Structure 1
Amino acid sequence: MADAVASWHTNEFPELRSAPPWVMQEMIAAQPELAAPILADGSPTVAAIAEDIASALDAGRPVTVVGCGTSEHGAHGVAALIAAAVALKHRALVRARPAFTAALDPAPGFCLAVSHDGGTRATELAVAAARDAGARTAAITHDPAGSVATAAELVLVTPNHDESWCHTVAYTSALLAGAAIAALLGGSIVARPAAAHDLLRAATAVEADAAPIAERLADRRVVLCAGAGLDHVTARELALKIAEGARQPTIALELETVLHGQLAGHEAADGLILVAVDDRADRDRLARRAAHVARAAAAIGLPVAALLSSEHDAALPSELTPAGRLVVDLPDPTDLDRGLATLLAGAGALQTLTLQLAHARGTNPDLIRREQAPYRAAAAAGESSSDW
C-alpha cells in the first residue's frame, strides 16, 4: 500500500487516512461555525449580487443558478431560496440548471455559479456563455483565483475549504450564501446566524439514530432516495453522498415519480430512504403521499428509512419505516426561514447517515474511491481534456 500511495498520492488529493475518523467527519463537525461568517457577512458583494438579481427580474430577465455535482444541488437550493424571496410575478424567472446545459443554451439576465473548488470547467463555460449572452455574472466559491471566479464579474468567497472530496462544507456554504443573498431581496427571509448554527449542530448530531439505519441498509443492492420540493434537493444530495462516500449504487427520485414505473426495476434487495422535512405547505397531504410511497415499497419487500422533521415524524406512522428514521426539530420560522431550515436540517442528517454507511461498509469516503486506479482513470477520462 505504501508503494502504491507514493506513486499517485499528491497534495492535490485529500489526506489519505487508513482508518476513521475520516476527514469528512471533521468537515461535518465544522459546519455549524459557517453560519455566522456567511449569514452575518454584510459584504458589498452580497449586496451587489442581490442588486443585480433584482435588476434582472425587474427587466423581466431570467436568473439562472448553475453548478455541477454537489454544487448543482447547492444551486437548486440557492435558486429556491431566491425564488421564495422575490415577488410572486418574478418567481418563474428564477431557476437552477446543470452547468453544462446552461453553457450550451445560455440566457441573458443574471447567472450565479456555484463552484466550491472553483475549477469546474463546465461551470466556467456556463459563466462565460452567460456573459456572451449579455448576462451579469457572479460566483459563490472558496477559491477567488479559480477559473470560475476569474470568469465571473462578482465573486462571493466562502470561508472554509472542504478538505474531503465527499463534500459537505461545500454544500452548506452554498446554501448559507444563497440565504444571505435572499435576505436582501425580500423582507420575509429571516436567517439568524445563531438559529442556523444550532440547527446544523443538532442535525449533524444524530449518529446514534443513523448508525442502526446504516447497518440495515449497508447490504442493499441499490438505495432509492425520494422527496418532494425542497426535499427532492436533499434526496439528490443524499444519493450522491451515498454513492461517493459509501460506494453504494443509488438513485434519486421526486417522491411522486417513485410510483410511476420506477418500482418495476427494484426488488427486495434494494432499499428506500424517504425525505420529508419541508412542512411549509400542505404538510398533511405530503405526509399521506409519503405514506403511500412507503407502503408501495414495502409491498415488494424494500426496507424503508426516513429523514424527517418532527412534524412529519408525528404524521408518518412508525410502522412504515422499519429501517429507522432520523428526526430533526426545525426552529421557529421567526428565527430561521423555513426553506433554509429545511435544507440545512436535511444536509446535516444526510451527511451523518452517509458517514455511518461508510463505517458500516468499511469505506473511506474522502477520496471518492480514487485511491483505486480504475476510478482515477475514470476521473482523468472525464476531466483531463479541455477540447469541449
Structure 2
Amino acid sequence: MAADIAEQPDVFARLLEGPPAAAIAEVAAEIAARRPRNVLFVGRGTSDHAALYGAYLAEIRLGLPVASASPSAITLYGARPDFSDALVVGVSQSGGSPDLSGVLSAARETGALTLAVTNNPESPLAQAAELSVDVSAGHERAVAATKTYTAELLALLLLVEGIRAGDGRLPEAERAALAALPGLAAAALADRTAEELAQRYRFAPHMVTTGRGYAYPTAREAALKLMETSYVPTLAFSGADLLHGPLAMTDTDVPVLAVVGDGPGGQSMREVIARLKERKADVLTVGPQGDLGVPAVDERYSPLLDILPLQKLALALALARGENPDAPRGLKKVTSTL
C-alpha cells in the first residue's frame, strides 16, 4: 500500500502527457459530438466514490442532470430502462464485476452512449462499452485501492473538461494548472503529519468523515479506507446531512475527519465545524488551512490531493493497530457482484 501511494505523482504525470491524455481527449470529443442530455454513473466501492466526483463535475461543469444507476434493478430484476440520449459511465479499477458490465450492456442495447473508465482496458467492462478510457495507473499491489482511485479522478476531470471544451482540447491555462499536479502531489505525500497523528486515533472505536461538494467523495473514500485497512467503523456524511440528525452522536469520543477546501464547499463547512466544536468533538481538518495540510488548488482539483494524507493516515493507523493493510481480512482485489 505504501508503494502504491507513493506512485501517485508519477501516475498523474503519465495521465497528463502523451498517449493517455490524447486518448482521453479523443473520447471527450466523441462524447461532445454526440451531445448526451443526461449522465448516469455506475460503480462500486472506491470507484463509486470516483463516480460521485464525476457526477459533481458533470452537473457543475457541463450543466447536465446526473444520476447513479442501481445495478440490481437490471441484473437481478431484469429492468430495461430507456437510456436514449444518455451517457452511461461505468467506473471500475478491474472492470471485472458482472453487475457493472450488465448495466453498460443493457444501456447500450436501449440507446445509450456507454463509456468504461477502468485500469484494465481488456476487461469485460471495457468490452461492454462503446467507448473506453484507460486510467493507466499500472499494477496495484495492495487490496485497498489508492493510486487507481486518484487516477480515476484525474481521468474523469480530463474527460469532463474535454467535453466542456467541445473538441477534447483543454485551454492553455487549464493545461498549465494541471501540469502542476504531480509536483503538488509529491509535496503532499512528503508531509509526515498523517503518520504522526495515527497514534491519536489508535484506540478510536469509531469515526466520522465529512465534507461538502467536491470534498464529499473524499470523505466517503477516506471512510472506506479506514474501515478496510484498520477495521474502524467509520460513517461518512455530507456536511449538510451531518447537521440533519447525525450531529447528535458526536462528542469527545467520536473523532471527526472534516475535508475543508477553499471553494464554496469548504466555506459551507464552517458552520459544520462550529457545530461540531460546540459538541466538543475531536475534529481533524484536511485542506490548505487544515491540520492535515495540502497545497491550495482550484476546488475541482482538491480531491486529487485531499485524499493523499488520508490514505497515509489509514495506512499508518492500520500499522499502529497491528493490522496488515496490504491484505485486509475477508477481502480480495477483484470483487464480483451481480
Task: State if a TM-score over 0.5 links the two structures.
Answer: yes
- Give the alignment partner of residue 176 of structure 1, picking from 145, 154, 160: 154
Question: What RMSD, in angstroms, separates the aligned Cα atoms of the two structures?
Answer: 2.7
Is 1:27 the counterpart of 2:4 in the alignment?
yes
What amino acid does structure 2 have at the position aligned with 1:72?
A: D
Aligned residues: 324
Structure label with greater radius of gyration = 1
The one of 298, 302, 310 aligned to 1:342:
302
Deviations 1:40-89 (A, max 9, x none): 24556423432343245x45x21222211000111112232344432xxx
Structure 2 CA distance for aligned equivalents of residues 128 and 74 of structure 1: 21
Question: Is 1:49 aligned to 2:27, yes or no?
Answer: yes
Counterpart residue number, 1:198: 183
How do 1:319-338 and structure 2 match up within 5 A?
Answer: 325-331=291-297, 338=298
Contact in 1 for aligned 2:215/2:265 (Cα 8 Å): no
**Counterpart Cα distance in 1 of 2:293 and 2:299:** 17
217 and 305 in structure 1: CA distance in 2 versus 1, 3 angstrom threshold? same
Normalising to structure 2: TM-score of the pair? 0.86
Look up the match of 1:362.
322
- Work out the CA distance in 1 between the residues paired with 2:74 and 2:210: 25
Q: What CA distance in whole angstroms lies between the structure 2 residues aligned with 1:357 and 1:254?
A: 23
Q: Distance in 2 between matches of 1:105 and 1:292?
A: 46
The answer for the alignment partner of 1:7 in structure 2 is none
2:272 equivalent in structure 1: 290
User: Which AA in structure 2 matches 1:342?
Assistant: S
Residues 16 and 179 of structure 2 are in contact (CA less than 8 Å); yes or no, is this contact kept in structure 1? no
Give 1:93's match in structure 2, choosing from 65, 68, 71.
65
Paired residues of 2:250 and 2:276 also in contact (CA < 8 A)? no
Whichever residue aligns with residue 102 of structure 2, its letter is L
Give SS of 1:201's match: helix
1:79 aligns with 2:51: no
Measured in 2, the distance between the counterparts of 1:55 and 1:101 equals 30
Q: TM-score of the superposition, structure 1-length normalised?
A: 0.75
How far the C-alpha of 1:171 sits from its partner, in A, is 0.5
Q: Distance in 2 between matches of 1:152 and 1:230?
A: 27
2:286 corresponds, among 303, 307, 315, to: 307
- 1:117, 1:146 within 8 Å by CA — same for their partners in 2? yes
Q: 1:32 to 1:309 in 2, by over 3 A?
A: same
Paired with 1:260 and 1:64, the residues of 2 have a C-alpha distance of: 27
CA distance in 2, matches of 1:214, 1:146: 37
User: Is 358-367 or 46-55 further displaced after alignment?
Assistant: 46-55
Residues 212 and 98 of structure 1: CA distance in aligned 2, closer, same or farther (over 3 Å): farther
User: Do the aligned residues in 2 keep the contact of 1:166 with 1:365 (CA within 8 Å)?
Assistant: yes
Identity %: 30
